[in-house]
Amino acid sequence: MTDSHRELGVEFGDLAAHLDGHEYPATMRELTDAYGDYVVEYSGGSESLRTMLAPFDDTYESASEVRQAVLNAVGQGAVGRKGYTDRGGFAPATDDVSF
């Protein structure tokens, strides 16, 4: 049975409990050896932890640091409709916003 653990549009599932229970500090290699085949899902697709952490040759001090690295790796893939707002329309296309 997969436990749901969603954070900022990313579903960690059972991986969240494994990361929380892991002993830190831990290197990217240690984490991918242990949990690399777990899949993280988001609205734009899914990827294995191994694929997501591959660009980072880091040592992580906590599970929250690992989750943050995953969230950084997902990037815009986890964002729903780009530019969407539930405030009656679409957000401005530029950064020039006046209040």
Predicted local confidence at residue 71, as pLDDT: 86
Q: What is the pLDDT of residue 29?
A: 93
CB contact at 8 A, 10 and 40: yes
Q: How far, in Å, CA of 19 to CA of 24, rounded?
A: 9
Domain count, the chain: 1
Q: Which positions ≥6 away from 85 have C-beta within 8 Å?
A: 91
- Whether 83 is covered by a domain: the verdict is no
98: Cα separation from own chain's centroid: 32
Q: What is the pLDDT of residue 5?
A: 81
In a domain, 39, yes or no: yes
Burial 52-64 (b: 16+ CB within 10 A, else e): bbeeeeeebeebe
Say if 88 falls within a structural domain.
Answer: no
Residues of the domain holding 48: 6-76
Q: What is the pLDDT along the chain (99 residues), one digit of tens a residue?
A: 455 687 777 888 899 999 999 999 999 999 999 999 999 998 878 889 999 888 888 899 999 999 999 888 886 555 555 555 556 655 556 666 566
Answering whether pTM is above 0.75, one says no
